[in-house]
């Protein structure tokens, strides 16, 4: 039995069907707001807003509309991420793509040294790392489900295209 056949059997789908997946993983675990201190460049209130933006982003299943400029700016400057052209490019690479989401989890969860001890925002980076680690299921399992969904959608499109071209499936 092929991979796609096993998925089709598990999810009871036929080529061309709209894919319905089981209930998503639980929402982000409840968090207690860390206490932040003013840094040389980043005020405690700004750190709190960035942290709240990340909590909201995770709770809303990484919805692009919840990925704020302040969250983008902080993440793109920390945790060893390679620069992207803009917020949308960073989002597409790091959250819309399942493999990118898993790599993002790994980068943040394995952060050590410089990022966690930065004079200006080490406290925020440590809090972000703790939040991300607590929400591993949201990052990793949801990314795996997204990957399956994308593969099944691609399978359906290819099947319909082959049928349109006259190929018969038995």
Stretch (H or E) spanning 63: none
Percent of the chain with pLDDT over 70: 81
166 — alpha (psi -120 to 50), left (phi > 0) or beta? left
Q: Which pLDDT band, with edges at 50, 70 and 90, does 140 fall under?
A: confident
Output the CA–CA distances (angstroms, integers) from residue 94 to 76, 107, 122, 129, 160, in the order listed.
10, 11, 22, 16, 31
Q: Which pLDDT band, with edges at 50, 70 and 90, does 2 fall under?
A: low
* Alpha-carbon torsion, ordered 110, 114, 119, 124, to 10 deg: -10
Predicted confidence (pLDDT) per residue in 144-165, tens digit: 787 888 888 888 888 888 888 8
Query: What is the per-residue burial (b if ≥16 Cβ within 10 Å, else e) of 58-72?
Result: bbeebeeebbbeebb
Instruction: Note the pTM of the prediction, 2 decimals.
Output: 0.70
Average pLDDT of the chain? 82
pLDDT of 139 above 60: yes
Compute the average pLDDT of residues 32-53: 93
């Amino acid at each position: 039995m092929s991979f796609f056949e096993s998925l089709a059997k598990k999810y009871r789908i036929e080529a061309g069907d709209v894919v319905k997946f089981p209930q998503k993983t639980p929402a982000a675990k409840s968090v207690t707001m860390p206490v932040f201190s003013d840094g040389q460049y980043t005020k405690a209130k700004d750190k709190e807003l960035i942290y709240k933006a990340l909590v909201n982003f995770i709770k809303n299943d990484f919805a692009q509309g919840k990925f704020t400029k302040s969250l983008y700016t902080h993440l793109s400057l920390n945790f060893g991420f390679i620069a992207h052209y803009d917020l949308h490019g960073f989002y597409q690479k790091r959250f819309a793509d399942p493999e990118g989401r898993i790599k993002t989890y790994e980068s943040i969860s394995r952060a050590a040294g410089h990022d966690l001890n930065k004079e200006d925002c080490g406290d925020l980076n440590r809090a972000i790392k703790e939040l991300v680690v607590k929400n591993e299921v949201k990052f990793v399992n949801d990314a795996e489900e997204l990957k399956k969904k994308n593969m099944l959608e691609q399978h359906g499109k290819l099947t319909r295209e082959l049928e349109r071209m006259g190929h018969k499936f038995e």
